[in-house]
Chain A
Amino acid sequence: MSSLGGGPPLDEGDLPAVTPEPVDIPDRSRVGTDEWVSQAEARRTAQTGLSGVVARAWERLPAPARLVILIGPFAIFPFITNEGNLYRYGLITVIYALLALGLNVVVGFAGLLDLGYVAFFGFGAYLYGIMASGHSGHHLQAEIAIPIVVVATALLGLLLGLTSWRLLGDYLAIVTLFFLQAFVIFVNNANGGLNDFSYPFVGKVDLTGGANGLDQIDPFNLFGYHITTTKGYYFFTLISLTLLMIMLYFVNGSRTGRAWRALREDPLAAEVMSVPVNRLKLLAFMFGAATAGFSGTIFGAVQSGAFPGDYDVGLLITIYAIVILGGLGSIGGVVIGALVVNGAPELLRSSANARFLFYGVLLVALFVAMRPWYKPVVVFLGTIAFGFAVHGIASAVWSRGTEGHIQGGGRLGRALEHWVLLPNNPGSIAGWAYFALIVAALVLTMVRGWWRVVVLIPTLYLASFVWENKLVEQVSGATRLILLGTLLVVIMNVRPSGIFGTSRVEIV
C-alpha cells in the first residue's frame, strides 16, 4: 500500500499529458514506487507559483527566526486590542494551542490515536481546583499546586498509556474514548451526594461539585503575586507555549524524536530494530497528559471554575481539528491551526463578517484551485451574470422569491439583495437547496475540464442561495461545524498531512 504524495491534485494545462493516469485518482502512487518518485510530482508543482516560493523561503529560515515570526504577532496583540478581544481571540487561542501541542506529541509524533485527551485537560482543571479554591477550602500557592497537577496528570497518562501496549490503532481510539466518557460521568457525579460512590475510610466526599461544577477556583498565586488580569494570564500562557515549542523542537531532533517517528511509521519494524516501543508509547502519553494538565490549571484559573460540560467530545473535536489542520507532527503548524480554528468562528459571529469571509474564501479558493487564470475569471463573471438573470426571471415569475431581506445588512448585503433569490419564507425550499448543493458539489468532483466550469456556475449561485437563506442563521453553531466537517474530509482527500505537515509514505 502506498500513500498520497504531498502535493495538490493535478489539473489540466499543468503538465504535458504523457503520464498515463489511473482511472479514478490522478495522483495515487502505485505499489512499489519509492519515496523519491512519489514526491516527484510534489516537487514539480512546488517550484511554481507564489506558494512554492514562500514555502522554500520559510524552510530556509533558521529555527529561532521562524519562532519569532510565529510568536511575534501574539506578543504584540495585547497592546493593540481591548480586553474582550484579547480574551476571545488571544487567550483562548493560546490555551488551545498549548493543548493541541500536547496532542500533537501523542498523535503526530508517536502516531497513537488518543481520543480521551481532553479528560486530562479536565483532570488538570479539577485537581488544581481541589487544591486551590473556595469550594474545597484549600488555597495552595500556584508554584506548589501546578507541579503537583502536572505530575499527577502525567501518572494518569501513564495508566492510560498502559492500555496501548496491547491495543492497536482503532481499538486504542475506542478505549481512550471510553476513558473520556468515564471521566465525564465520574466528574458529574462525584459530589458526595446520593449518586456518588462511598470511598473506604472517608465515606462520601465532595470532590468535584458534581453537575454544579467546582467553583470559586483561586487565581494563580505565584510566590505571592496574584495573576488576575487577562493580560497576565495571556502572557503566562504565551511564554509557556513558547518554551514548550522550543523544548519540542529539541526533542524532535533528538533520539527520542527519531524513535517516535519510527514508531509512528511502522511499529513492527521499529520493534525489530530494538526501539523500545512500549516505553516510547508511555512516554508519549505521559508527555501529552502533562501538557494537557498544565493547560487545565490555566483554564480553571481563568474561568475560576471547572464544569463537567466543558471537557467533552466537542472540545476533543476542536483540538483534533487544530492538530490535523496544522499538520500532524508540525510544531508551528499547530499554532496556526489554533488561530484558524478558534479565530475564524469568532469572526463569523456577526452575519456581516461571516458574509465577507464566506464570499472571500470562495473567491480565493476559486482563483487558487483553477489554473490557468482565465478559467476562474470566466466562472466569476458567469456566476454574476447567471445570478442577475435568474433574479430577473424570478422577480417576474415568482414574486415571493425576491421579497425577503438579507440578514445582517451591510453594504455587501444590500448589494446582494439584487442578486440572490431571497424567498420570504424559505421553509423547506432551503432544505432541498442544501441537498441539491451537496449533490452538485459531488458531481463537480467527478467532472473535468470545461464541464467543470459549466457546472460550477450554477453551483456557486446555489451555494450563495443556501448560505443566505439557511447557513447564515446558525453561523456560530451548526454552520461552523458543518464547515469544519467538510474541511476535515477535504483536507484528508487533498493533503492528508495537513497544511504544514510532512507528507508520509507507507511502502508495503
Chain B
Amino acid sequence: MNWSLFFGELVSGLTLGSIYALIALGYTMVYGILKLLNFAHGDVYMVGAFIGFFVLQWLGGALSPVVNGWIAVAIMFAVAMVGCGALGVGIERFAYRPLRNAPRIAPLISALGVSIFLQNSALLLWGPQFRSYDTFDLVGVKSYSIGNNFFISNIQILTISVSIGLTIVLALVVSRTRTGKAMRATSFDRDAAEMMGISIDRVISFTFFLGSALAAAGGVMFGLVFGQIFSLMGFTAGLKGFTAAVVGGIGSIPGAVLGGFLIGLTEAFATGYLPGGSVYANLYVFALLIVMFLIRPTGLLGSPVIQKV
C-alpha cells in the first residue's frame, strides 16, 4: 500500500475540496432562494482572485510588502470579500431582479451574459497572461511532515481551516440571526415570507453578498495555494462548484461543504490512482454527478422537492 501516495492525494483533495466548498456555498444559497443557476458565480470567484492580486501589488508586491506577509494576506482576504460581495449585489440588482417573474430561461441566459461579460472584461483590462501570487516570497511555504509518508504545507492547512471557519460563521449567521431566519423563510416560501413583512429584495441582496464574498475568499485561497490566476479560471471552477452543490444536496449548507470535499477528493484520488488520471479527472467528477442523479436525485443531504400543481 503506497501510503505516501494515499496521504498526498488526501491532502490535495481536502485542499481542493475546501475551495470548491466555498464556491458551492454561494451556488446553493442562491439556488435555494431564487431557484436560479448563477452562471456568473465562477467569474465572481475569478474577480476575487484578481482583487486579491491587485491589493497585493498595491501593498508593494510579494517581494517587498509594506506590512508583514500574513497581515497582507488578511488584508487581501478582507478587500476581496467586500469587493466581490458588492459585485454580487450589483449583478443581482441589474441582471436578475428585473427577471424575477420572467420565464425560467430568461435569468439563465442573463446569467450567461453576465458571465461572458465578466470573463472578457477581465481579459480586456488585465490581459490573458497569468498573474502570480508568489506565495513563496510573500509568506514562505513550510512543509510539515508526520513520519515518512504524510506531508502538508502551512498554506494547505490555512486553506482547509479558513474554509471550515467561514462555513461555521455562515451556519451561525443563517441559524442564529434574524436575517438568517428571513433567508430561511424566503427559501421556503417566498410569497408567504413577503406577506409576513420580510423585505425580499433585501434578503436576496444579502444572500448574494454572502455567497459572492465566500467565492472571493475561495479565489484568494486558490491564488495562495496554486500560485497562478488568469481570467478564464472561473469557468471550470464554477462548474465543479455547482457539481459539488448538487451532489451535496442543493439548498443545504452542510451539503454544499460535504459535496465540495467529496468532489475535491474524487478529483485527487482519480488523478492518483486511475489510468490517464489527470486528463480524465474532470470526467470522473462529472460521472459522479450522473451517478448521484440516478441514485439520489436530491443529493446527499438535500430534501425531496415536491412540485405543486
Q: Is the interface of B mostly helix, strand, loop or mixed?
A: helix
- Chain A residues lying within 8 Å of B297, measured Cβ to Cβ, are 166
B226 at the interface (CB under 8 A from A): no
B286 at the interface (CB under 8 A from A): yes
- Chain A residues lying within 8 Å of B37, measured Cβ to Cβ, are 170, 173-174
Partner of A195, one of B98, B279, B290: B279
How far does the Cβ of B263 sit from chain A's closest Cβ, in whole Å? 13
> Within B99-153, which residues are at the interface with A (CB < 8 Å)?
99, 101-110, 112-121, 123-125
A113-B108, A434-B121 given; A504·B103 CB < 8 A: yes
> Within A137-175, which residues are at the interface with B (CB < 8 Å)?
166-167, 169-171, 173-175
Please give the number of chain B residues whose Cβ is less than 8 angstroms from any Cβ of chain A in the complex: 49
A171-B246, A185-B280, A489-B95 given; A442·B90 CB < 8 A: yes
- Chain B residues lying within 8 Å of A414, measured Cβ to Cβ, are none
- Chain B residues lying within 8 Å of A256, measured Cβ to Cβ, are none
B266 at the interface (CB under 8 A from A): no
- Chain A residues lying within 8 Å of B90, measured Cβ to Cβ, are 442
- Complex Cα gap A113–B112 (Å): 13
- Complex Cα gap A486–B121 (Å): 11
How far does the Cβ of A266 sit from chain B's closest Cβ, in whole Å? 9
Q: CB-nearest residue of chain B relative to A470?
A: B124
Partner of A496, one of B106, B123, B279, B283: B106
Partner of B121, one of A2, A111, A482, A504: A482
How far does the Cβ of A483 sit from chain B's closest Cβ, in whole Å? 9
A372 at the interface (CB under 8 A from B): no
B261 at the interface (CB under 8 A from A): no
A178-B290, A181-B282 given; A493·B120 CB < 8 A: no
Query: Which bucket holds chain A's interface residue count?
Result: 35 or more
- Complex Cα gap A496–B123 (Å): 28
Partner of A268, one of B102, B106, B242, B309: B309
Q: Is the interface of A mostly helix, strand, loop or mixed?
A: helix
Q: Hey, what's the 0/1 contact readout for A106-149 against B, CB within 8 Å counting as 1? A: 01000101000000000000000000000000000000000000
How far does the Cβ of B58 sit from chain A's closest Cβ, in whole Å? 11
Contact status A181-B283, CB under 8 Å: yes
Partner of B113, one of A268, A328, A488: A488
Partner of A320, one of B112, B114, B294: B112
- Complex Cα gap A418–B27 (Å): 49
- Chain A residues lying within 8 Å of B294, measured Cβ to Cβ, are 166
A175-B293, A181-B283, A328-B105 given; A493·B116 CB < 8 A: no
Contact status B113-A492, CB under 8 Å: yes
How far does the Cβ of B112 sit from chain A's closest Cβ, in whole Å? 6
Sample 16 A-B pairs with CB under 8 A, ordered by A number. A29-B101, A170-B108, A171-B246, A174-B242, A181-B286, A189-B276, A269-B309, A434-B124, A442-B93, A479-B120, A481-B116, A485-B115, A489-B110, A489-B113, A492-B95, A493-B95
Q: Lowest 6 CB-CB distances: which A-B pairs, in order?
A: A488-B113, A485-B117, A485-B116, A178-B286, A489-B113, A478-B124
- The interface of chain B, by Cβ under 8 A from chain A, is 37, 90, 93-95, 97-99, 101-110, 112-121, 123-125, 235, 239, 242-243, 246, 276, 279-280, 282-283, 286, 289-290, 293-294, 297, 307, 309
